[in-house]
Amino acid sequence: NRLAPKEKLRIPVLFMPDTMKMYEAVMVIHVMRENGENWPYEDFAELNEDLKSVSVSEDGGIQEILWSYPIHGIPEAPHQKLVPAMVRCQARERIEKKVEVRLTGVVPGVTAMSTTKNSEKIKGNKPSNIQEVVQVTDGFSATAEFQYELQYQSDEIKSQIESLVGMHLIQREEDTESGTVTLIFNIVFAPNKPMRNEGTLVVQCTTGGVWKFPLLFIATEPEVDDVINIEAIGLNKESIVDFKLTSQTRYPEPFTAYFLAGSDPDFVVLPQAGELLPVGTVGTHLTVGFKPRMYGKKHKATLVIQVNFPKYSTQIH
């Protein structure tokens, strides 16, 4: 190809793997001047002798330039419409669930040298949130390893749920005839508030291949902490109940106070935002007001005090 000055060269690369193993290639770009002459180079004495990409002539000119780009092809298992493994727990509780995933197309018998080489390449770029590698033996290469991590749809979701989820491998099984590896994980979920978030368990083999499995984390409403009964003093007249609440930690915590959807509008809470004083203190003073607008109806609401840690809820009648 002829490349004009300042022109950009786009080189398409097609990758069509037929097995779940890493493929390696080196793309080489060889550049020479169209007229066959050398490029003049004034700082020949300062030219780095280790610069293998440049070929220098006797007169100090540059004859040709070679660029080499290593390419690693890592196949990903075909996307399947898998039903997400559901991890469900009530807010402010803790649950452990075993999740089994099956890796199909794992290539056994890869030489130890090739596997170790690929393993080093993967580990060199391994994100900090990837879990410890899992070594698989019994029929597979002794250096065949798997790395796994949980990924989320966005950084915002990750920041909300990452500290609430723990995961580690507890069992593995290998079938050398079918090339199938089964991994069983123990997932711990300890949500601090109601939520519904999706995640993806990503497993990568150091011999090549990536498998992805969907997960669904659901946290339901927590148990009601207390029930407050307010007796009306008259139609369109406000009854008030006061109570105090601490942050349950040694430090003050910012909070917001609100009523869940479906609560009667005859209730108000003050303040609607502020700071809960630390545990061991007198606590932060909150007020709930009730002003009924009709007779013959039992009014009900659920008040939520949302802090950075657990959510406290109170039913009001």
Q: Tell me the per-residue pLDDT of 163-181, one tens digit each, with 9 for 90 and over.
A: 999 999 999 888 877 778 8
Mean pLDDT of the chain, nearest integer: 81
In a domain, 213, yes or no: yes
Q: How many domains does the chain have?
A: 3
Count CB-CB contacts under 10 A for residue 213. Answer: 22
Q: Which residue has the higher pLDDT, 316 or 250?
A: 250
Residues 177 and 51 in one domain: no
Residue 113 lies in a domain: no
How confident is the model over 213-243, as pLDDT tens digits? 999 999 998 888 889 899 888 888 999 999 9
Confidence of residue 145 (pLDDT cuts 50, 70, 90): confident
Q: Look at residue 141 in the predicted model and tell me its pLDDT.
A: 38
For residues 182 and 85, state if they share a domain: yes
Query: Does 140 fall in a domain?
Result: no
SS3 assignment, position 257:
strand
pLDDT of amino acid 310: 52
CATH code, 162: 2.60.40.2310
On whether both 37 and 62 belong to a single domain, the answer is: yes
69 and 80: one domain?
no
Q: Do 97 and 166 reside in the same domain of the chain?
A: yes
Q: Is residue 198 part of a domain?
A: yes
Within this chain, do residues 157 and 189 fall inside the same structural domain, yes or no? yes
* CA–CA distances in Å: residue 191 to residues 45, 73, 149, 195: 65, 38, 19, 8
CA–CA dist 144, 137 (Å, integer) = 7
Q: How many C-alpha atoms does 192 have within 13 Å on its Cβ side?
A: 13
Q: Which residues contact 219 (CB under 8 A, 6 or more apart)?
A: 88, 89, 90, 91, 189, 191, 193, 194, 195, 196
3-state secondary structure of 252: coil
Same domain, 158 and 279: no
* Strand ranges, E, within the chain: 23-31, 54-56, 62-73, 85-90, 95-103, 134-135, 145-152, 165-175, 180-189, 195-205, 210-220, 226-228, 239-245, 253-259, 267-270, 273-276, 284-290, 301-307, 311-316
In a domain, 200, yes or no: yes
Please name the residue that has the structure tokens 């659920």. Answer: 302
Q: Are residues 181 and 84 in the same domain?
A: yes
Strand partners, 213: 201
* pLDDT over 50 at 62, yes or no: yes
Q: Is the pTM of this model over 0.75?
A: no
Number of residues that this document lists for the chain: 317
Task: Write down which residue in 196, 223, 250 finishes a domain.
Answer: 223
Q: Is residue 159 part of a domain?
A: yes
Give the whole-angstrom CA distance, residue 79 versus residue 200: 12
3-state secondary structure of 213: strand
Clarify whether residues 84 and 197 are in a common domain.
Answer: yes
Domain residues for the domain of 66 are: 23-73
Looking at the structure, do residues 255 and 214 belong to the same domain, yes or no? no
CA dihedral 223, 228, 232, 236 (to 10 degrees): -60
- Residue 48 lies inside a defined structural domain of this protein: yes
C-alpha–C-alpha distance, residues 210 and 29, integer Å? 30
- Using one digit for the tens of pLDDT, what is the confidence trace for 71-126? 999 899 887 788 999 999 999 899 999 999 998 888 765 433 333 343 333 333 44
**pLDDT range class, residue 293, cuts 50, 70, 90:** confident
Taking alpha carbons only, the member of 244, 87, 71 closest to residue 167 is 87
| Domain limit, last residue, from 223, 251, 275 | 223
Q: Are residues 165 and 280 in the same domain?
A: no
* Of the candidate ranges 108-112, 147-151, 203-207, the one whose mean pLDDT is the lowest: 108-112
- The answer to whether residue 132 is domain-embedded is no
185 and 209, same domain (yes or no): yes
63 vs 204 pLDDT, higher one: 204
